[in-house]
């Protein structure tokens, strides 16, 4: 594809690059000829990704540490000279019913999903404004548009990220830096695999319906290349959010119906 060549030579920073969506995204950008900076906490996993990613810079970083994030971007600029694209993907998920939600778990999710994303945006966009070009793609969630159980705490953090992103877009209006939202549904990643043993989660969403990370990667590519504002994955999935805004009672009923259908499907799979 001709537009795919646009990424050749671009400097791309991917957070949460050690596994899941981040890993798939980093490898896809590397395949497109981009120079990729791999950001996550786990050095060994990042090294394994780097071994497949060509000209890649490994930058072990805890995104919840503001000073560490600043050092991370300093290293990227020192190595590559600039930052063209940032995929703000790092995230954690701890499922629980809202009435059972441990405040410490919610705080841990907020630190990564919201504060970490904020620190990355602030460091990246400051440099992009100075070079008068750049794109940030925030990986949120369909759960950031409509809360669902048993991941209410996670949804709350993604709601916050969506609001932060929308406000930031207003601040950047007329400036040469673009911020996009990609909002996937449930993706087959290690993060999701770690929680799909939770019975409440399985009642809500059988693993057979999980999407591959490649679906999200293509949305990230499109958002970065064409400076799109918002993409839901799969396409059109955000329609339910619009229904929820217009008729919340109806959307609640649909969620309950979907859960019942999913639970029936899971029991049928278990018997087969």
197 pLDDT exceeds 50?
A: yes
167 pLDDT exceeds 80?
A: yes
Helix 43-50 with 20-31: angle, nearest 10 deg: 30
205 pLDDT exceeds 70?
A: no
7 pLDDT exceeds 90?
A: yes
Catalytic pick from 154, 201, 205, 221?
154
Q: What average pLDDT does the segment 182-199 reach?
A: 69
Q: What is the mean pLDDT of the chain?
A: 88
Choose the weakest-confidence range: 81-85, 119-123, 255-259.
255-259
At 55, is the pLDDT very low, low, confident or very high (cuts 50, 70, 90)?
Answer: confident
Residue 154 bears catalytic tag = yes
The predicted pLDDT at position 157 comes to 98
244 pLDDT exceeds 80?
A: no
User: Is there a cis peptide before residue 119, judged by omega within 30 degrees of 0?
Assistant: no
181 pLDDT exceeds 70?
A: yes
1 pLDDT exceeds 80?
A: no
Tell me the domain boundaries of the chain.
3-241
Name the architecture of domain 3-241.
Answer: 3-Layer(aba) Sandwich (3.40)
């Amino acid at each position: 594809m001709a537009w795919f060549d646009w990424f050749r030579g671009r400097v791309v920073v991917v957070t949460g690059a050690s596994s899941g969506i981040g890993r798939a995204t980093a490898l896809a950008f590397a395949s497109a000829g981009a120079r990729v900076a791999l950001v996550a906490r786990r050095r060994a996993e990042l090294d394994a990704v780097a071994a497949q990613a060509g000209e890649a810079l490994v930058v072990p970083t805890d995104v919840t540490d503001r000073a560490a994030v600043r050092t991370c971007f300093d290293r990227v600029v020192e190595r590559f000279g600039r930052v063209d694209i940032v995929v703000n993907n790092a995230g954690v998920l701890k499922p629980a019913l809202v009435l059972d939600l441990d405040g410490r778990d919610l705080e841990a999710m907020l630190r990564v999903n919201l504060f970490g994303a904020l620190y990355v945006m602030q460091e990246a966009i400051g440099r992009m404004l100075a070079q008068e070009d750049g794109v940030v793609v925030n990986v949120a969630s369909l759960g950031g548009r409509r809360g669902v159980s048993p991941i209410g705490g996670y949804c709350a953090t993604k709601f916050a990220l969506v609001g932060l992103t929308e406000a930031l877009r207003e601040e950047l209006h007329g400036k040469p830096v673009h911020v996009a939202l990609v909002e996937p549904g449930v993706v087959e990643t290690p993060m999701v695999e770690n929680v799909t043993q939770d019975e409440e989660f399985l009642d809500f969403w059988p693993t057979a319906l999980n999407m591959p990370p490649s679906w999200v990667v293509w949305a990230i590519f499109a958002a970065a290349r064409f400076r799109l504002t918002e993409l839901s994955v799969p396409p059109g999935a955000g329609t339910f959010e619009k229904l929820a805004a217009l008729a919340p009672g109806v959307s609640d009923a649909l969620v309950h119906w979907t859960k019942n259908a999913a639970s029936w499907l899971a029991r049928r799979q278990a018997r087969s």
